[in-house]
């Protein structure tokens, strides 16, 4: 009980406890108190019997309930006037209590009982969407009770609508009103009929604009399915119980944020499919909030969503290579209404190679909650299966996962595997380039094998291996091959991921080039074994020759039937004497990119000994006045010549084959006679040659 009411009750108890001044014919009883819209308060009481005509006056007493000691009085000498408009009272501000003292001409008086105006207070409840109404009983001063109170609401047309009745407890009374509209301008009053006196107590009018602040409860997300046809997430929920439910807002949860993605203006909706979902590939999380008909600025005002987001169930399936075993793993189905109690695993087998028609669904097994994997053993090799998992919730709902498809086809072979070329490298070793089916999607192992070409019955030996799929290049470098002195036969064996051999390429045999040098005829003879086997066939052989360490230059093109060639080098006297050769075998079929496919032999070099002509005499001032040799097939960068006097002294030296001795020393002609000389040179292979002799000097005077 609040303090003002307590003070009021204390004061009235004192008054009611005082003895009346007199009893008898002037006794009066208080009847009813009524407060109008303006707060004006009318108080009525009974007119006393006065057979002896002793009435003198009424003394009307009033005091505010908040200050019972502050009593004011009004003298009313008119016997017939048994009601009064309480002076200076505003019934809209609080309760005021009243009693009447009747005075007689003989000095006696009588005190009535005490009644108060009913003060009604209406304010928004702490419970959103409700208004709390509280008021005092007219007999709160004495604790007496009367008839039931009737709580009324204005119909805004001058009438009143009964909301309910409340028994009078003689003290403070209350009533809770649920706001029916989004926002109402409410006016309430409380009345209490008094059958004894034929009147009714009427409270003040109380009320204000009260909004419906009660948000609808969030719907419980029962399950989220992944549609097996579209792969889209489908949310299902139990509807919100709010009476004024108008629809739902769908949220996508990501990175701690909840982003609204759609609004459903249908209070009867219990499911939603996200058209932009990627639940086939990802775990997706969602939340749902309900909204009522009380929009804010024309837009739905959602209530709180669920405490946590709910997720889809996603599985992945992996096949153990080359086996009939599939491992199915899953995660998700979080935050749904009720706990996951178990998971059931299902499968379908494709009825055709295109996996467009499927057989009957089969339940493979059930595992308890907390288990997130399952092994399916016994799949039919050569078939395609698709799997899904269904989570069973404690609420009786279930969630479907995405579909995971596995191909149990046995790994086959590439459509073709060819060695494009087995080509000798410059120093040593062999490059082997492989062409295979570039549309191949399965991984295969390409294994390079080799044997000596002069041992055709020997087994192939494994040299190297690599794994590839379509779109990758396969090329090997066999650095262990001595391609300068030996010919090799190669093949490529193909194994699938089960390590079974499924294909083998053509056999390619490298070319070994050799030759001899004819010093007398100045002819180099070349011979080689034929190249085997191109994807097509050998269309021709091209011979390249390099001199003096320069780049190889095309020499001649020969038909595929020719495997020998004589190179006449007599017309190349300026050469060093070393000739290097290379054979290129040309494929009749183009390479994978449309270019020329070819294979190279080793490089072989042949050297001819230097050819030197040295004059035995010179004539100073006459014919042949300079002593110098004529040299072919030698490395002239190493040329050195010395001429000696008769006593062995060097009288001339030259490092330039074109700079000879003119028979003079320090500008003076030497005496006629024989002079010694020595000549040093080296051939194209680096072998040094020395020639010595005498040259006769003649003087033409």
Q: Kindly report, residue by residue over 217-275, the tens digit of the pLDDT.
A: 889 999 999 999 999 999 999 998 887 788 999 999 998 899 999 999 999 999 999 99
In this structure, the answer to whether residues 10 and 105 fall within a common structural domain is yes
In this structure, the answer to whether residues 530 and 497 fall within a common structural domain is no
**Angle at CA of residue 387, ends 382 and 391, nearest 5°:** 165
Distances (CA, A) of 405 to 88, 280, 388, 441, 657: 89, 11, 9, 16, 83
In this structure, the answer to whether residues 304 and 317 fall within a common structural domain is no
Which residues span the domain enclosing 87?
1-213
Higher pLDDT, 689 or 7: 689
In this structure, the answer to whether residues 379 and 428 fall within a common structural domain is no
Which region among 13-27, 37-51, 559-573 has the lowest average model confidence (pLDDT)? Answer: 13-27
DSSP 3-state of 3: helix
In this structure, the answer to whether residues 635 and 676 fall within a common structural domain is yes
* 38 part of a folded domain: yes
Q: Kindly report, residue by residue over 103-160, the tens digit of the pLDDT.
A: 999 989 999 999 999 999 998 887 767 889 999 999 998 888 999 999 999 987 889 9
In this structure, the answer to whether residues 566 and 651 fall within a common structural domain is no
Which region among 372-376, 613-617, 632-636 has the lowest average model confidence (pLDDT)? Answer: 632-636
pLDDT at 180: 66
In this structure, the answer to whether residues 128 and 38 fall within a common structural domain is yes
In this structure, the answer to whether residues 481 and 524 fall within a common structural domain is no
In this structure, the answer to whether residues 505 and 564 fall within a common structural domain is no
pLDDT at 184: 65
What does pLDDT average to over the chain? Answer: 89
Residue with tokens 């086939």: 280
Res. 21 pLDDT band, cuts 50 70 90: very low
The answer, yes or no, to whether residue 389 has pLDDT greater than 60, is yes
pLDDT at 321: 75
* 412 part of a folded domain: no
Domain boundary among 607, 642, 664: 607
The answer, yes or no, to whether residue 14 has pLDDT greater than 70, is no
Res. 405 pLDDT band, cuts 50 70 90: very high
In this structure, the answer to whether residues 85 and 142 fall within a common structural domain is yes
Distances (CA, A) of 617 to 331, 647, 676: 105, 19, 11
**Which residues on neighbouring strands pair with residue 160, listed in sequence order?**
154
In this structure, the answer to whether residues 616 and 598 fall within a common structural domain is no
pLDDT at 4: 39
The answer, yes or no, to whether residue 694 has pLDDT greater than 70, is yes
pLDDT at 209: 65
Which one-letter DSSP state was computed for residue 647? Answer: T
Query: Looking at residue 454, which CATH number applies to its domain?
Result: 2.60.40.10
Q: How many domains does the chain have?
A: 6
Q: Kindly report, residue by residue over 347-370, the tens digit of the pLDDT.
A: 999 998 888 899 999 999 999 999
- Can you tell me the mean pLDDT for 6-10? 41
* 642 part of a folded domain: yes
Residue with tokens 């040259």: 695
Residue 3 φ then ψ, to 5°:
-65, -45
Q: Kindly report, residue by residue over 457-494, the tens digit of the pLDDT.
A: 999 999 999 999 988 899 999 999 999 999 999 999 99
């Amino acid at each position: 009980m609040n303090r003002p009411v307590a003070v009021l009750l204390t004061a009235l108890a004192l008054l009611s406890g005082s003895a009346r001044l007199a009893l008898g014919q002037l006794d009066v009883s208080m009847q009813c108190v009524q407060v109008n819209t303006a707060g004006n308060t009318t108080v009525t009481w009974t007119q006393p019997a006065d057979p002896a005509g002793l009435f003198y006056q009424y003394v009307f007493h009033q005091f505010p309930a908040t200050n019972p000691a502050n009593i004011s009085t009004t003298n009313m000498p008119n016997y017939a006037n048994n009601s009064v408009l309480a002076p200076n009272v505003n019934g809209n501000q609080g309760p005021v209590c009243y009693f009447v003292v009747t005075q007689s001409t003989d000095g006696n008086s009588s005190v009535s009982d005490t009644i108060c105006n009913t003060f009604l207070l209406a304010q928004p409840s702490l419970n959103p969407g409700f208004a709390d109404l509280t008021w005092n009983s007219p007999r709160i001063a004495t604790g007496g009770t009367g008839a039931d109170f009737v709580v009324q609401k204005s119909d805004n047309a001058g009438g009143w609508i009964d909301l309910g009745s409340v028994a009078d407890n003689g003290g403070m009374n209350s009533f809770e009103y649920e706001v029916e509209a989004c926002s109402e301008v409410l006016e309430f009053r409380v009345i209490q009929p008094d059958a004894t006196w034929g009147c009714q107590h009427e409270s003040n009018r109380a009320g204000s604009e009260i909004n419906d602040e009660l948000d609808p409860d969030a719907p419980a997300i029962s399950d989220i399915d992944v549609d097996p046809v579209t792969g889209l997430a489908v949310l299902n929920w139990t509807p919100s119980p709010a009476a004024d439910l108008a629809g739902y807002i769908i949220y996508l949860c990501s990175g701690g944020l909840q982003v609204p993605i759609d609004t459903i203006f249908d209070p009867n909706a219990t499911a939603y499919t996200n058209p932009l979902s990627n639940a086939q590939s990802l775990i997706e999380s969602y939340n749902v909030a309900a909204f009522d008909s009380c929009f804010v600025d024309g837009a739905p005002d959602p209530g709180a969503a669920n405490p946590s987001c709910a997720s889809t169930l996603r599985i992945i399936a992996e096949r153990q290579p080359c086996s009939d075993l599939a491992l199915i793993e899953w995660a998700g189905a979080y935050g749904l209404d009720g706990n996951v109690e178990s998971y059931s695993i299902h499968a379908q087998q494709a009825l055709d190679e295109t996996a467009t028609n499927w057989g009957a669904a089969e339940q493979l097994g059930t595992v308890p909650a907390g288990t997130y994997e399952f092994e399916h053993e016994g799949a039919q090799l050569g078939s395609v299966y698709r799997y899904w998992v269904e989570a069973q919730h404690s609420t009786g709902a279930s969630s479907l996962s995405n579909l995971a498809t596995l191909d149990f086809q046995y790994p086959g072979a590439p459509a073709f595997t060819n060695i494009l070329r087995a080509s000798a490298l410059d120093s040593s070793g062999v490059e082997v380039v492989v062409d295979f089916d570039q549309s191949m999607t399965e991984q295969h192992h390409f294994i390079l094998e080799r044997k000596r070409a002069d041992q055709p019955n020997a087994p192939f030996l494994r040299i190297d291996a690599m794994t590839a799929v379509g779109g990758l290049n396969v090329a090997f470098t066999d650095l262990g091959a001595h391609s300068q002195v030996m010919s090799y036969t190669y093949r490529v064996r193909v194994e699938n991921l089960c390590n079974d051999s499924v294909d083998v390429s053509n056999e390619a045999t490298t070319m070994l080039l050799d030759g001899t040098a004819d010093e007398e005829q100045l002819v180099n003879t070349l011979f080689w074994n034929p190249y085997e086997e191109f994807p097509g066939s050998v269309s021709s052989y091209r011979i390249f020759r390099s001199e003096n360490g320069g780049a190889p230059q095309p020499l001649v093109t020969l038909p595929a039937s020719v495997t020998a060639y004589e190179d006449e080098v007599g017309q190349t006297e300026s050469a060093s004497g070393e000739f290097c050769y290379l054979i290129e075998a040309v494929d009749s079929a183009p390479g994978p990119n449309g270019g020329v496919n070819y294979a190279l032999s080793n490089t072989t070099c042949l050297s001819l000994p230097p050819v030197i002509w040295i004059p035995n005499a010179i004539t100073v001032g006459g014919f042949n006045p300079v002593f110098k040799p004529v040299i072919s097939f030698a490395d002239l960068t190493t040329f050195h010549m010395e001429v000696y006097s008769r006593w062995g002294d060097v009288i001339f030296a030259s490092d330039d084959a074109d700079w000879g001795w003119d028979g003079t020393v320090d500008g003076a002609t030497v005496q006629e006679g024989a002079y010694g000389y020595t000549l040093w040179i080296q051939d194209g292979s680096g072998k040094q040659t020395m020639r010595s002799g005498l040259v006769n000097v003649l003087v033409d005077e």
